[in-house]
């Protein structure tokens, strides 16, 4: 059990969607800026998932409305691959949700976690391109980059713009 923050009043043992000060949010970790509306070259150049998306961000007013609405109504149960903090932020900024329930989640970090081993396995049939270690690296990075791009919420075909009131109603099983 931790001590309640004197700045924002957050209990360190809180869970779900919470509002906190920047110090509590960072918890002694660095702040990374997620980029929206990136071009394809920039997207591919960012080797680590969870750093950017091709999806366009909505207006500040709409982003703030979504975040405050979900703060008061919840964002569903946490799941590392399908409903995590990155998913919350991407939804608030874009209004986009993956509509295929059995598909991979929205999170670039989760996709990176799955994508790297997947890339190594998928690239195995391409051994003819891997005459040396640099060939192996090039093929694996290429497959990984293509899989990251194909999984980006800004280019996927299984996403839809969802109003926050509809999202919250579906998460709690009620209609507004």
pLDDT at 91: 93
3-state secondary structure of 79: strand
The first and second tokens of residue 1, run together, are: 């059990």
Q: Are 28 and 14 in contact (CB under 8 A)?
A: no
- CA–CA separation, 152 vs 122, rounded Å? 19
Residue 132 has what pLDDT? 65
Q: What is the mean pLDDT of each run of 10 residues along the chain (176 residues)?
A: 82 79 88 90 80 94 96 83 84 89 53 52 53 68 77 87 90 55
Question: Could you give the CA distance from residue 108 to residue 57 in angstroms, rounded to a whole number?
Answer: 16
User: pTM here?
Assistant: 0.75
Cβ-contact 74, 168 below 8 angstroms:
yes
């Amino acid at each position: 059990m931790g001590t309640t923050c004197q700045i924002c009043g957050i209990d360190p043992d809180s869970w779900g969607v919470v509002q906190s000060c920047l110090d509590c949010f960072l918890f002694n970790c660095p702040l990374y800026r997620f980029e929206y509306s990136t071009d394809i070259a920039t997207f591919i150049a960012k080797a680590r998932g969870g750093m950017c998306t091709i999806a366009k961000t909505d207006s500040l007013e709409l982003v703030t409305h979504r975040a405050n609405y979900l703060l008061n109504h919840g964002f569903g149960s946490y799941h590392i691959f399908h409903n995590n903090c990155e998913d919350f932020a991407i939804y608030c900024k874009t209004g986009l949700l993956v509509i295929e329930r059995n598909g991979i989640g929205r999170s670039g970090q989760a996709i990176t976690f799955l994508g790297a081993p997947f890339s190594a396995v998928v690239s195995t049939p391409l051994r003819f391109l891997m005459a040396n270690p640099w060939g192996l690296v090039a093929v694996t990075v290429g497959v990984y980059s293509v899989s990251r791009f194909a999984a980006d919420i800004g280019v996927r075909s299984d996403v839809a713009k969802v109003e926050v009131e509809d999202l919250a109603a579906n998460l709690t099983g009620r209609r507004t």
